[in-house]
Chain A
Amino acid sequence: MLISLFIGCYNDTLFPETGKAVVAVLERLGNRVEFRQAQTCCGQMHYNTGYLGEALPLMKHFLDVFRTAETICIPSSSCVAMIRDHYPKMAAGDPSLEREVRELLPKVYEFSELLVSKLDVVEVGASFPHTVTLHPSCHSLRSLHIGSKPERLLQHVRGLKLLPLPAADQCCGFGGTFAIKNAEVSAAMLAEKVQCILDSGAEICTALDNSCLMHIGGALSRQRTGLRCLHLAEILASTEAGASK
């Protein structure tokens, strides 16, 4: 299958390893991956902060770039939530945009959705001998209704021990510009999440979103916890031969 990767602006800039891992997993499973260089950003940050006028051209750009794509893989549930939940609202009232968004939506998959629902795979040939806990990000949980897909993928990784995260469904406190505008409250929410991760007993915290992980990982690093964060794709890309290519 030819899969078009939308990497997301922050993954592109800050977390290229996640993108490389997605490519490694998809290719290992026999798919072809393409990356359309014209892609930029889904517009989520602008939209969620109230800059609808700035978000609209970004949506149009996204539609232009991916119009001819067949299957789009996005290793970020919050970008997928932006597209699924908000693109239809932004397009409302413009019949041609509405049609374009309608045609786009069935082609868009979050990374774990693509593996489990579209490619029908839970065993991706990964090996990762570590204890891991999963932070189910708010968008994956309450917008994508991702269910147990990430857990099922992790349970099939050789050597990996998945440990439950207490109060897992509670927001980590990132919330995009929320972490900047309401830094104090965000820090308080983060403190609780970090405590839960420590209580899980895992050495690694994973998620479908590097945005949450950047925020959580920043605190794990600052507090010298000896724990770290890793995107699900990077765990799935790890093999006995080594990490992703």
Chain B
Amino acid sequence: MSVRVGDAAAAPDFQKAAKRLIANTQLRHNVRRATDVIRAKRAKVVAEVPEWEQLREAGHRIKEHTLRHLAAYLEQFENACVRAGGQVHWARDADEANRIIVDVVQTAYRNRAGSISDQMEVIKVKTMTSDEIGLNRALEAAGIVPHETDLADLVVQLGEDRPSHIVVPALHRNRAEIRRIFMEKMKLDELGERPEDLAEAARKYLREKFLRVRVAVSGANYAIAETGSVCVVESEGNGRMCLSLPEVLISLVGIEKVIPRLEDLEVFLQLLPRSATGERMNPYNSLWTGITPGDGPREFHVVLLDNGRTNVLRDAASRETLDCIRCGACLNVCPVYRQTGGHAYGSVYAGPIGAILTPQLQSMEHSTSLPYASSLCGACYEVCPVKIDIPEILIHLRSKVVEQGGAPLAERLAMKAASFAFAGKGRMEAAQKLTRIGQWPFAHGGKIRSLPGMLAGWTAVRDLQTAPKESFRQWWARREQNHDLQRGASS
């Protein structure tokens, strides 16, 4: 089995990628603007719900319970889905999932046309999981043309770009950039500048595909074990078109997306829209069960994807990462994401959740810089609708990097030196003395303006104040001595 998360294995370190992206002023402006808007909307609609904390707790508990009994719920889902006329496939990794989907698409075209002359195409509902497994590339390699139909995904696809946000994949683009992409790729001579002009262009471009293409690929927000139903929520209605018009529907579902009962949706359909887009309810909530003759797709396939998820389950200290309902709230509040945008994370999963999910899916091998892509400010944990303690998991993953010998030598030595110095009073005093001696070549007027090596990043933008001549403990000792002398003199 080989787990692959998009191109994350080949992505540069977060630090390096961030450095490059921070120089992109347009991108940073777009990201700040967009996240400010979504944050404010979220804060407003969350404040309307007095029982928000209980809802978060309920979401957390349902996910915790489900993951503890995941195998049983997955089998229950499979049985119910098959009973309702669906076909369920199990995929261990990205390659297996891609093969299954390509095979279903090819079979669909063969059965229908009886000839291969038809151009094989699929329309896609927004699915980050398909980006995780690199589905579009696999489809193209098999001669199948994928069409993204989510507006933001369409912008990413036409712009030959990568998604930078799990809910708003083109969040790093502004209206002017989108207009330029549309004009070029849709071959339009004229296009207005208003949002409705852009929407109209996309509508015309997509409608034709909705009516023509016979096979659709979707992701899933929830798979309901009790009924075998699959649920997709979205804002545009383009998803609804893909889910209802084609003859064959394939839903790619990460195994952690299963929830036990239909009534559990009550919790998640409140948590998700308010957290994700600051809406009270998603404009489109699609829920379907198997197939219904004469209504919707005639063939329905579910591909249950592992791709490293059982690895994540193994570690009790961090398995709650799989609770994630992909709302993106942690990205929108993250002060690090705010500066870099999503591409710095080198994965389809960006932001705080990406920083803990990607390294775990890939068993840490290729993404040792991600657990450090956080100041541990805790804003992500505060907004997470299912209470994933992201800062704590980041620290846990950092300890794994250290255990595996992945931390830089200079840092390991510095940490060793510090733990040696902090072992007791005598050593601490000696270290403080060394600090005062060591700083003098760099100190000017109580400030250090330039330092070498690892610390150069600090003094690139900040002065560092020097350690004063007397530490607190020395001052205290002197004060105690004076007190003793005074007491001695007065007795």
- Interfacial residues, chain A to chain B (CB-CB below 8 A): 7, 9, 11-17, 19-20, 35, 37-41, 43, 45-52, 54, 57-58, 61, 89, 138-139, 141-143, 169-171, 173-192, 214-215, 217-219, 221-222
Are A181's CB and B15's CB within 8 A?
Answer: yes
- Docked Cα-Cα span, A54 to B477, in Å, equals 28
Contact B378 A51 (CB under 8 A): no
Among A16, A47, A178, A183, the residue within 8 A (CB) of B374 is A178
Within 8 A of A (CB), among B468-483: 468, 470-473, 475-477
Flag if B424 contacts A40 (CB, 8 Å): yes
Q: Assess whether B22 is in contact with A188, with CB atoms less than 8 Å apart.
A: yes
On whether the beta carbons of A175 and B423 are closer than 8 Å, the reply is: no
Among B339, B407, B435, the most chain A Cβ lie within 10 Å of the Cβ of B339
**Majority secondary structure of chain B interface residues (helix, strand, loop or mixed):** helix
- Stretch in B217-225, B302-310, B454-462 touching the partner: B454-462
CA distance A13 to B454 in the complex (A): 20
State how many angstroms separate the Cβ of B312 from the closest Cβ of chain A.
18
Flag whether B411 is at the interface (Cβ < 8 A): yes
Interface of A is mostly: helix
The size of the chain B interface, using a CB distance under 8 A, is: 66
C-alpha spacing A187/B375, complex, angstroms:
12
Check A183–B460 contact: CB distance below 8 A. Answer: yes
Residue of A nearest to B334 (CB): A171
Q: Closest 9 CB pairs between A and B?
A: A183-B457, A175-B375, A50-B398, A218-B462, A171-B377, A16-B472, A142-B378, A19-B472, A54-B419
Task: Report chain B residues within 8 Å CB of A51.
Answer: 399, 402, 415, 419
Given A15-B472, A54-B418, 14 more contacts at CB 8 Å? A41-B428, A45-B415, A50-B400, A54-B416, A142-B379, A170-B379, A176-B376, A180-B457, A182-B372, A183-B456, A187-B461, A214-B464, A218-B458, A218-B464
CB atoms of B435 and A185 under 8 A apart: no
Interface contact B462-A184, CB-CB below 8 Å:
no
B467 within 8 A of A: yes
Chain B residues with CB under 8 A of A9? 422, 428
Q: Does B209 contact A (CB under 8 A)?
A: no
Q: Which residues of A contact B282 (CB under 8 A)?
A: none
Quick one: which of B413-444 are within 8 Å of A by CB?
Answer: 415-416, 418-419, 421-425, 428, 432, 435
Q: Is the CB of B462 within 8 A of A215?
A: yes
- Whether B377 and A138, one on each chain, are in contact in the complex, defined by CB atoms closer than 8 angstroms, is yes
Chain B residues with CB below 8 A from A47, complex form: 395
For the complex, give the distance between the alpha carbons of A182 and B336 in Å.
Answer: 10
Could you say which residues of chain A place their CB within 8 Å of the CB of B460?
A: 183, 187
Q: Return chain B residues, CB-CB under 8 Å to A43.
A: 422
- Inter-subunit contact B428/A35 (CB<8 Å): no
Q: Are B377 and A185 in touch, CB under 8 angstroms?
A: no
Residues of B within 8 A of A182 (CB): 14-15, 18, 336, 372-373
Interface-central residue, A176, A182, A186, A219, by most chain B CB under 10 Å = A182
B350 CB to closest chain A CB (Å) equals 14
The interface residues of chain A lying within 8 Å CB-to-CB of B336 are: 182, 185, 189
Q: Which of A20, A49, A174, A190 contacts B398 (CB 8 A)?
A: A49
How many angstroms between the C-alpha atoms of A120 and B379 in the bound complex?
Answer: 30
Using Cβ atoms and an 8 Å threshold, which residues of chain B touch A11? Answer: 472
B401 A16 Cβ-Cβ under 8 A: no
Return the chain B residue nearest A81 by Cβ.
B378
Q: Is B184 an interface residue (CB 8 A)?
A: no
Give A84 to B362 CA distance when docked, in angstroms.
32
B381 located at the interface, meaning its Cβ lies under 8 Å from any Cβ of chain A in the complex = yes
Partner of B19, one of A20, A45, A184, A215: A184
Contacts of B423 in A (CB 8 A): 40, 57, 61
Contact between chains at A184 and B15 (CB < 8 Å): yes
Instruction: Kindly provide the distance from the CB of B32 to the nearest chain A CB, expressed in whole angstroms.
Output: 9
What is the distance, in angstroms, from A10's C-beta to the closest C-beta of chain B?
A: 10
* A222 in contact with B463 (CB, 8 Å): yes
Rounded to whole Å, the gap between the CB of B12 and the closest CB of chain A is: 13
Chain B residues numbered 11-25 whose CB sits less than 8 Å from any CB in chain A: 14-15, 18-19, 22
**Shortest distance between the CB of A72 and any CB in chain B (Å):** 16
CA distance A221 to B428 in the complex (A): 29
Cα of A191 to Cα of B407 in the assembled complex, Å: 28
* Neighbouring A residues of B432 by C-beta, 8 Å: 12-13
| Complex Cα gap A72–B18 (Å) | 41
- Asked whether B447 is an interface residue with its Cβ less than 8 Å from the other chain, the reply is yes
B422 close to A41 (CB less than 8 A): yes
Which residues of A have CB within 8 Å of B296?
none
Given that A38-B424, A40-B423, A49-B398 are contacting pairs, would A174 and B458 also be in contact in the complex, using a CB cutoff of 8 Å? Answer: no
* Cα(A38)–Cα(B464), bound, Å: 27
Contact B382 A13 (CB under 8 A): no
Q: Are A50 and B462 in contact (CB under 8 A)?
A: no
Residues of A within 8 A of B462 (CB): 190, 215, 218-219, 221-222
**How long is the Cα–Cα vector from A208 to B401 in the complex, in angstroms?**
31
Q: Point out the residues of chain B lying under 8 angstroms from A174, CB to CB.
A: 375
Q: A175-B374, A184-B457 are in contact. Are A20 and B425 (CB under 8 A)?
A: no
Residues of B within 8 A of A7 (CB): 472-473
Chain B residue at smallest Cβ distance from A16: B472
**Interface centre among B336, B392, B425, B447, by most A CB within 10 Å?**
B336
Least Cβ–Cβ distance between A120 and chain B, in angstroms: 27
Q: Which of A48, A141, A185, A191 contacts B395 (CB 8 A)?
A: A48
How many angstroms between the C-alpha atoms of A47 and B465 in the bound complex?
25
User: In the assembled complex, how far is the CB of residue A136 from the closest CB belonging to chain B, in whole angstroms?
Assistant: 11
- How far is A42 from B428 in the complex, measured between Cα atoms in Å? 13
Q: Tell me whether A171 and B375 are in contact in the complex, defined as CB-CB below 8 angstroms, given that A180-B455, A221-B447 are known contacts.
A: yes
In the bound complex, what is the Cα–Cα distance between A184 and B471 (angstroms)? 31
Q: How many whole Å from B397's CB to the nearest CB in chain A?
A: 8
**Interface contact B475-A20, CB-CB below 8 Å:** yes
Query: Taking the complex as formed, is B335 at the interface, i.e. its CB lies under 8 A from any CB of chain A?
Result: yes
Contact flags (1/0) for B356-381 with A, using CB distance below 8 Å? 00000000000000011111111101
If A218-B463, A219-B462 touch, whether A40 touches B422 (CB-CB below 8 Å) is: yes
CB distance from A78 to the nearest CB of B (A): 10
B340 an interface residue at 8 Å Cβ cutoff?
A: yes
A185 touches B18 (CB 8 A): yes
27 A-B contact pairs sorted by A residue (CB < 8 Å): A12-B432, A14-B465, A17-B468, A35-B473, A40-B421, A40-B425, A41-B428, A49-B407, A54-B416, A57-B419, A138-B376, A139-B378, A142-B378, A171-B375, A174-B375, A176-B376, A178-B375, A181-B411, A182-B372, A182-B373, A183-B456, A184-B457, A185-B336, A185-B339, A187-B457, A188-B339, A192-B335
What is the bound-complex CA distance between A11 and B462, given in angstroms? 19
